[in-house]
């Protein structure tokens, strides 16, 4: 049978599982704990152990940091597990920074899916979508003999399905308020969850944090005899350059190594510092000499979708970004200003998902007198534009249109945008992905949410 058809059948099976990402809860919500995951790992001879792992948690920047580390290490066979995917589910599991093929996915899916009836028979439970995909990734990395696996946390850290790995290094990127219903409503509670990935006697790479978060993580690391290394140790200079087709950052590392970076913005420089520090400590643990020329050459190849991605279409620039909280929307605004766009000629398109505060995300736009189109992604947990307006009732924002989907918002933006205007689509990675699909005419995967 055609591998793509088999893949589609397998995806349908996968989407039948409880999926917290898409807010598709079953009649028996499985809850957050690691018992099921540990059960699954045992059945597959512990693919979470005795391999080289770098574990990455954080509120923002963990995806970019994971990718930066993976690209930096691409002189060896590297596995990368991230979420969510942008266009196709296979993007979540990469080897040598390329999504696995349908053939590879199908081969291992047929092996790993056997855990579903076994688990139901033995403990009367079913794995969640994310638990299953985590197991699938770890099995693939083990069986395909990757030398090092970069594993991004799905949500939080302490009780995340990925937190069964025996990591060599723990990385914690910037922490801010997000998913407060699950992780807690204070930065200390949230940082407790993120720092839950720290292992005994295992080095920790820490991005810049506010003081009380740093002190809390330092206390947790000390209790586990885990030494902290700070991203601020890495010296980086940069300048954003317009290449006419897009924008890049010209970067100088440690006053010596020069390279171009396609990820733009000061927040991406912080992610780069964090990734570089993780590489530094990884080589130190392996007692290997670092070839910085090779590493920066590899990093300069990185491409990511929907991370302040700038696309020129005829007489307009489009920007697709996953900014979904107050801190990330401020970073987005700072980056747009650095790109020298006229802030009076920006048309904003915003959509969000349950679990994120639209009020806090859009508060940072209030002083810009923005024109905003509200929309929603095709995910079941996407907020309706009407509900978003209810959240925004005390903000001084000009909401010029409510649309039911990204396609309508895209059409409306093209209709009303003037020559030279910049259109910014943001609010979640799902929104960013859908607008990139529309702009670049990419055929997306559609799922049946049972």
The domain segmentation of the chain, as residue ranges, is 3-299, 309-440
Rounded to two decimals, what is the model's pTM?
0.94
Neighbours of 43 (CB within 10 A): 15
**What is the DSSP-derived secondary structure letter of residue 371?**
E
pLDDT over 70 at 46, yes or no: yes
Q: Which of these ranges, 28-37, 155-164, 357-366, has the smallest mean pLDDT?
A: 28-37
Report how far residue 146's alpha carbon sits from residue 349's, in angstroms, rounded to the nearest whole number.
40
pLDDT, one tens digit per residue, over 291-305 is: 999 999 999 999 999
pLDDT, one tens digit per residue, over 285-335 is: 999 999 999 999 999 999 999 999 999 998 899 999 999 999 999 999 999
8 A C-beta contact, residue 122 and residue 95: no
8 A C-beta contact, residue 261 and residue 302: yes
Residue 80 corresponds to which tokens in the numbers above?
Answer: 């990368």
pLDDT over 60 at 30, yes or no: no
Average pLDDT, the chain: 94
- Given this model, what pLDDT does residue 26 score? 41
pLDDT, one tens digit per residue, over 59-94 is: 999 999 999 999 999 999 999 999 999 999 999 999
- Given this model, what pLDDT does residue 419 score? 93
pLDDT, one tens digit per residue, over 190-247 is: 999 999 999 999 999 999 999 999 999 999 999 999 999 999 999 999 999 998 778 9
CATH fit for domain 3-299, picks 3.40.1190.10, 1.10.620.20, 1.10.3720.10, 3.50.50.60: 3.40.1190.10
- Backbone angles phi and psi of 412, in degrees to 5: -65, -40
The yes-or-no answer to whether 3-299 and 309-440 have a common fold is no
pLDDT, one tens digit per residue, over 166-203 is: 999 999 999 988 777 788 889 999 999 999 999 999 99
- Given this model, what pLDDT does residue 181 score? 77
Rounded percentage of the chain residues whose pLDDT exceeds 90: 89
Cis amide linkage into residue 180, ω under 30° from 0: no
- Pairing status of strand 204-206 against strand 169-172: parallel
> Which fold, 309-440?
3.90.190
Only one residue has tokens 């620039």, namely 317
- Given this model, what pLDDT does residue 62 score? 96
Neighbours of 144 (CB within 10 A): 13
Mean pLDDT value across residues 100-107: 98
Q: Which residues partner with 93 through β-bridges?
A: 81
Report how far residue 310's alpha carbon sits from residue 305's, in angstroms, rounded to the nearest whole number.
10
């Amino acid at each position: 049978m055609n591998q793509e058809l088999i893949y589609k059948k397998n995806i349908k099976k996968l989407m039948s599982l409880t999926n917290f990402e898409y807010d598709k809860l079953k009649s028996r919500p499985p809850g957050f704990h690691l018992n099921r995951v540990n059960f699954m790992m045992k059945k597959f001879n512990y693919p979470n152990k005795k391999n080289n792992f770098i574990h990455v948690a954080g509120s923002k920047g963990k995806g970019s940091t994971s990718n930066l580390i993976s690209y930096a290490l691409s002189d060896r066979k590297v596995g990368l597990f991230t979420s969510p995917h942008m266009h196709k589910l296979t993007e979540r599991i990469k080897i040598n920074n390329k999504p696995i093929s349908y053939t590879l996915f199908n081969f291992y899916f047929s092996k790993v899916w056997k855990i579903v009836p076994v688990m139901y028979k033995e403990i009367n439970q079913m794995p969640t979508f994310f638990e299953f995909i985590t197991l699938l990734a770890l099995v693939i990395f083990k069986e395909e003999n990757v030398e090092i696996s970069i594993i991004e946390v799905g949500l939080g850290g302490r009780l995340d399905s990925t937190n069964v790995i025996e990591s060599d290094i723990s990385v914690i990127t910037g922490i801010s308020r997000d998913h407060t219903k699950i992780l807690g409503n204070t930065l200390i509670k949230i940082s407790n969850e993120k720092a839950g990935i720290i292992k005994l006697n295992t080095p920790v790479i820490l991005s810049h944090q506010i003081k009380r978060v740093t002190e809390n993580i330092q206390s947790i690391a000390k209790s586990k005899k885990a030494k902290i290394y700070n991203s601020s140790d890495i010296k980086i200079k940069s300048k954003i350059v317009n290449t006419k087709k897009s924008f890049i950052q010209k970067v100088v590392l440690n006053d010596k190594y020069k390279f171009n970076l396609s990820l733009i913005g000061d927040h991406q420089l912080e992610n780069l510092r964090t990734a570089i520090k993780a590489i530094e400590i990884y080589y130190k643990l392996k007692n290997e000499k670092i070839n910085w020329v090779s590493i920066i050459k590899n990093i300069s190849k990185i491409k990511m979708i929907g991370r302040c991605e700038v696309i020129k279409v005829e007489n307009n620039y489009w920007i697709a970004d996953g900014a979904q909280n107050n801190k990330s929307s401020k970073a987005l605004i700072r980056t747009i200003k650095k790109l020298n766009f006229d802030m009076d000629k920006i048309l904003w398109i915003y959509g969000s998902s349950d679990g994120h505060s639209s009020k806090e995300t859009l508060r940072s736009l209030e002083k810009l007198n923005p024109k905003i189109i509200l929309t929603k992604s095709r995910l079941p947990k996407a907020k309706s534009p009407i509900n978003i307006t209810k959240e925004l009732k005390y903000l001084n924002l000009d909401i010029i249109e409510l649309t039911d989907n990204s396609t309508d918002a895209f059409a409306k933006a093209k209709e009303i945008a003037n020559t030279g205007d910049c259109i910014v689509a943001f609010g979640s990675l799902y929104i960013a992905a859908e607008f990139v699909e529309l702009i670049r005419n990419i055929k997306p995967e559609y799922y049946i949410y049972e």
